[in-house]
Structure formats: C-alpha cells, structure tokens
Structure 1
Amino acid sequence: MLDRFKTVRQFGYKEIVIRKSRFIGYAKPVQTEEEAIQFIDEIKKQHWNATHNCSAYMIGERDEIQKQSDDGEPSGTAGKPILEVIKNQNLKNTAIVVTRYFGGILLGAGGLIRAYTDGAVAAIEAADAIVNVLHTQIYVEIDYTWLGKLENELRNRNIRMGETQFTDKVILTCLPVAAEADRFTAWITDLTQGQGVITRGDQVYFIEGE
C-alpha cells in the first residue's frame, strides 16, 4: 500500500461555457476499471443527446490502468488532455468525463485541447482533491495508572487516536502514520518501561489534515 496518494474526495461536477459551447466536467473517485466504466456510462446515459462525452481515468498504485476516449472529437483533442490533467495533478484512482454541447462555433484543435483541459480542472475542483495518508492501528494495553501520562504524551505528539476500551485494563487505539509505526512502537515501549502490551492491527487511510 502507498504511504500517501492524492485523489478526489467525492463525485463532483461543474459547467463552463466556452464560445457558446457548454462543457460539463464530472469527476469521481474509483477503485477499479469496472467502476470507472460504469461511471462513464452513467454520464453518457444522462447526457445521451450531448455532442460528445469525452473521458479518461487512471487507476492503480503505479497508475497501471490509463484509458482515454475522444468520443468523436478530433484525435488527441479531448481524452488525452483530460488524462494529462489527471497526471499533472498527481491524482490516482480518478475518473473524469467532460460532456460537450456544441454551441455553433468551431474551436479548432488548440481550442478543444484548452476547453477539455479546463473542463477537467473544473471537475476536479468540484470533486475536491485530497491526500490520503496511510496509518497503522496500534493497540496499547496498559494499567490504569499509566493512562493519564500516556494520554498526555500522545496528545503532545498529535497522534491520531481511535476508540479506547476500558476493562480490567485500558486498551488505547493509536493511529500513527504507517511510515513511523516502528519508531512509534519503540517509543511506547520505552515510555511505558516495557509494561504496555503492544499489538498491531490493520492499515487504514485517513485524509491529511482532517
């Protein structure tokens, strides 16, 4: 799993008008190619009477899947610019559709490239680009006598926390950044003088800054 990656938070769309043509940019986070294709098909059904529904998507930790479609626009003037926006903004697992309703004025190849680029950028702005950061669940089982000290130290270090369980012992769910999990474990061991029982759980993504 990647330590961090940028994507879009949610489905979003925005319309812009360029020389009387309407361009509606749609963006959505997707995990698989099937999801991307389904999303594109949904937009095409919604805008069945549009002049073009051009699209691109990029999926995978190493961007293994990259597809684009000009949907009838001159080759290289629509799908490729949309894909380039995804790449230039370092987005992963993202699909974009830019729908065009022709307004009667020809834009030329350069004008189309700029228009579809602007449509893709508008879609990403509407869908809210975020950075997901990988964290590791680390459970720390301690006696109640350690609770105050440990909570204070964790707060001072701004460690993300999950649920705390209270039984005959206290089990804290700590969520350090995955890249720092080993150092965090060593620090907890030292802090509790080896009296804390430490167990690793799953790795999960959280949005940076939230």
Structure 2
Amino acid sequence: MPEQESRATAYTTLAAGGDLRHELEIKRSRFITVLRRSADEDTARSLVADLRKEFHDARHHCSAFVLGADRDIQRSSDDGEPSGTAGIPMLEALVKRETLPGVSDLSDISAVVVRYFGGILLGAGGLVRAYSESVSSALDAAPLVRRSRLRICAVPVPHARAGRLENELRAAGFVMADSSYEAENTVLRLALPDNAADIADAGARLAALTAGSAGLLPQGTEWIDTAS
C-alpha cells in the first residue's frame, strides 16, 4: 500500500547540524539532556544507545521522542526511575512546546536525559519537575526550523545560465531545493506552496526573469526546511 500523506502541511523540528547538549544540576544530581533531530525510530533509539556507551557509569538514561508530521509516533522510557516520573514529563515537554504563540507542533525530535545521582532523593514530584525542566531548558537553547511540505517544480536551464538564474530566483524570495544535472542542462528545483495559484504566479515570475524561455515542470512534493 502507498504511504498515506500526512494531514499536516508544516511542523517545527530541530535544525540540522548535530546534537544539542544542555546540563542542569539539581540538588547535586546532574541532568545531561541531549536532543537529536530524528526522522525515524531507528535514529531516535540510536541516541539512547550512543549515550549509554558515552555515559556508561550513569544510573539512568531516560528518553522520549516524537516523530512524523502528524506527531503520530510518541514514545518514552523512565529507564529505572519511578514510573511516570521521567519519560512522560520529558515527552510532555516536547509535545506541549509552543513553537509559535498557541501552536505546539514540534516533531522529528528525540531527547535523552542522562542522570548522575547526587545522593539527595528528589521525590516523585521533584523528579517530574527535574526531567521536564531539563528538556524545556534544552529546547530554550535549541535552534529550531520550520519544515513544510512543498511542491517541487523543475526548471531545466542551460548550464551557462543556471547560476545567474538561481541567484535571481533566490533574490525574488523563492525556496530552492537541490539542483540536478543533465548533459546539456542544470535542472533547478523550486519548492513552492502546493496550490495552483502559487504555482501559476511562480510560472509568471519565472517567465518574466527569462523572457519566456524557461517554464515550470511540476513534480512531486517534498518536506523542506524553510525558515528558522
């Protein structure tokens, strides 16, 4: 069966560029939070495995992740902490995070909190607050990016003209996907809102920039990082 297209047309995720780390000390316990952009469960779970190796002497490696444009995959683990005091608060910190006023749409992100016990018991309520605060504080420092489902339109252009036209399209505000190359042409790829009006407007602007020598070839849709 073909993969069902998501209901969402945009969501927020961690910007590409590697894991983000943040550390808190609460009553002598160290809480080391690591966030990773994760497109699938294997990537999310690999973060736990990586940190178990790196922090092999830590008592707990608690985790939570949210995946998919519709955020339909959500998992958490207390990893030995009292039930409900670590993984669920971490998951709620991800799921309830407002990325815009009144909008909670964070996804494709995994979080692991490594805890080194400091000798002072925090109690159930203290643990809930500590794990929630650990993830929330890491998110405060995290570079986030908007990810949108856009219609890809190809623009075949002779190699000698491709660089200049790409610069003009970027200057005009178009989002560009990766180019591809053929024997005689560079195929520029525009990422446009997936509706007829925007595609028609883009076609008209392209015609104006190229004196009518280039046109749009609509293709499939892709998820593209569009703004921070």
Q: TM-score range by the shorter chain?
A: 0.7 to 0.9
2:193 pairs with 1:185: no
Normalising to structure 1: TM-score of the pair? 0.78
Between 171-180 and 2-11, report the one with greater CA deviation: 171-180
CA contact (8 A) 2:152 2:192 kept: no
Does the residue aligned with 1:111 lie in a helix, a strand or coil? helix
Partner amino acid, structure 2, of 1:4: A
- Distance in 2, Cα, partners of 1:47 & 1:85: 23
Question: What is residue 10 of structure 2 aligned with on the other side?
Answer: 4
Question: What is residue 41 of structure 1 aligned with on the other side?
Answer: 49
Partner amino acid, structure 2, of 1:175: L
Question: What is residue 31 of structure 2 aligned with on the other side?
Answer: 23
Q: Go from structure 1 to structure 2 and tell me whether the alpha carbon gap of 1:139 and 1:116 turns closer, same or farther (over 3 Å shift).
A: same
- Distance in 2, Cα, partners of 1:199 & 1:33: 34
Does the residue aligned with 2:58 lie in a helix, a strand or coil? coil
CA contact (8 A) 1:135 1:175 kept: no
- Distance in 1, Cα, partners of 2:139 & 2:203: 43
Of 200, 205, 209, the residue aligned with 2:218 is: 200
Where does structure 1 lack aligned partners over 5 or more consecutive residues? none
Q: How many residues matched? A: 203
- Report runs of 4+ in structure 1 exceeding 6 Å deviation: 150-153
Does the residue aligned with 2:216 lie in a helix, a strand or coil? strand
- Distance in 2, Cα, partners of 1:130 & 1:190: 29
Of 87, 90, 93, the residue aligned with 2:108 is: 93
Larger radius of gyration, structure 1 or 2? 1
* Structure 1 position 99, deviation (Å): 0.8
Question: What is residue 114 of structure 1 aligned with on the other side?
Answer: 129
Q: Deviations over 1:104-127 (max 9, x none)?
A: 111111111110011112333444
Q: Go from structure 1 to structure 2 and tell me whether the alpha carbon gap of 1:138 and 1:18 turns closer, same or farther (over 3 Å shift).
A: same
* Structure 1 position 14, deviation (Å): 0.9
Question: What is residue 69 of structure 1 aligned with on the other side?
Answer: 77
Q: Deviations over 1:110-146 (max 9, x none)?
A: 1111100111123334442221123333234689xxx
Partner amino acid, structure 2, of 1:199: L
* Structure 1 position 156, deviation (Å): 7.5
Normalising to structure 2: TM-score of the pair? 0.73
* Structure 1 position 19, deviation (Å): 1.1
Q: Deviations over 1:152-204 (max 9, x none)?
A: 99577522346599x99x97735243334x21332255564987533123434
Does the residue aligned with 2:132 lie in a helix, a strand or coil? helix
Identical pairs, percent? 32
CA contact (8 A) 1:15 1:25 kept: yes
Where does structure 2 lack aligned partners over 5 or more consecutive residues? 1-5, 98-104
CA contact (8 A) 2:153 2:192 kept: no
